[in-house]
Every structure is written in structure tokens, then in C-alpha cells.
Amino acid sequence: AARIAEAETRLKELSEQQIDRIERNLIAGLPATERSYDRDSFREALAEYDSIGPKELRDNLAWFLREIIPVAEHEGVRMCIHPDDPPFSLYGLPRIVSTAEDAGFILNAVDSPANGLTFCTGSYGTRADNDIVGMVKEFADRIHFVHLRNVTIEDDGSFYEAEHLEGGTDM
């Protein structure tokens, strides 16, 4: 609550131009896409996901994996999914790739060497309840790519990307 109050106070200090700039940065669109959003179109796009919770999103992911992994196997490709970044909800959207339980679900959805993980130590490391070393040991044979990042988690749960050898994960 204190962080929200602090943000609201800061927002009141901003000019309309500064608010517009922040808004454009938050909802501009994704890299390598031609689509961009304004406030109303962004709200409309988000509304399309109102009925999708964690279970539905997991079911959709499992369906996708059942369809794509056999093709990947045939072509000799190893797929690997990057964890949610950040591993907590933004705009009310569920996160389903944030924990060891999530990784286990994904790997068990299609038990194949072609179905693997991008192990991002930064994304998984932003959750204090993730045992990074334990996860590496548990999923070692299905980690197809490692993304070494380190983070420092503040007392209030916020985090920032740290130098590789200075964050919360023992590299």
C-alpha cells in the first residue's frame, strides 16, 4: 500500500506530457511488431483475456506443446521456453512459467527431450521461493539454454538486475 501511495504521489507531480510518454512506453507494442496501442486499444486487447486464468493458460500451453513438440522431434529441434519476466502478474494476466512446479508441468505436458527450458537465472531468481541450484539439478537434462542474469531482491519485494557476481544467486 505504501508503494502504491508513493506512486500515486509521484504521478500527481508529472505533467500531462510526461504521463503520455510513460503510457506510450508501457503500451507501445512489442519489439519486431508493427502494431502499437493507445490507452483504449490496449484496454480492449487486455479484455480479450478476461476469461483466461492460470488453468486455461496452462491448458493452452499444453495443447501447443502437444502439437509442436512432435514436429520439433522430427526436425531435430529442441524447444525451450523462457520463464515469465517478471514472474508476477502484470495488467491482471496470469503467469504460468515462474516456479519449479510450473517447469515440471511444462516438461511433463510432453515428456520429450525436444521439450525443454531456457533457464533464466534472473527471471527465476526474482522469486525468493525458487531454489535456483535445486531447479538446475532437477531439470538439468531438459535445460537447453541458460540465460545468466542476477538480481537483487529488495525488502519490499521489488528487484533490480545486478552484476553477475553481486546478486542473490550464487553464480
Q: Are residues 28 and 58 in the same domain?
A: no
Q: Are residues 120 and 37 in the same domain?
A: no
Q: Are residues 37 and 90 in the same domain?
A: no
**Angstrom distance (rounded) from CA 113 to CA 23:** 42
Domains: count for the chain: 2
Q: Are residues 30 and 7 in the same domain?
A: yes
Q: Are residues 67 and 36 in the same domain?
A: no
Q: Are residues 31 and 57 in the same domain?
A: no
CATH number at residue 82: 3.20.20.150
Q: Are residues 116 and 143 in the same domain?
A: yes
pLDDT range class, residue 29, cuts 50, 70, 90: low
**Angstrom distance (rounded) from CA 164 to CA 140:** 21
Domain residues for the domain of 42 are 1-48
Q: Are residues 84 and 160 in the same domain?
A: yes
Q: Are residues 7 and 72 in the same domain?
A: no
Mind listing the pLDDT tens digit for each residue in 52-97? 999 999 999 999 999 999 999 999 999 999 999 989 898 889 999 9
Q: Are residues 41 and 116 in the same domain?
A: no
Whether 109 contacts 135, CB under 8 Å: no
Whether 49 contacts 42, CB under 8 Å: no
Q: Are residues 126 and 93 in the same domain?
A: yes
Q: What are phi and psi of 165, to 5 degrees?
A: -100, 5
pLDDT range class, residue 163, cuts 50, 70, 90: confident
The percent of residues above 70 in pLDDT, for the chain, comes to 96
According to DSSP, residue 103 is labeled: H
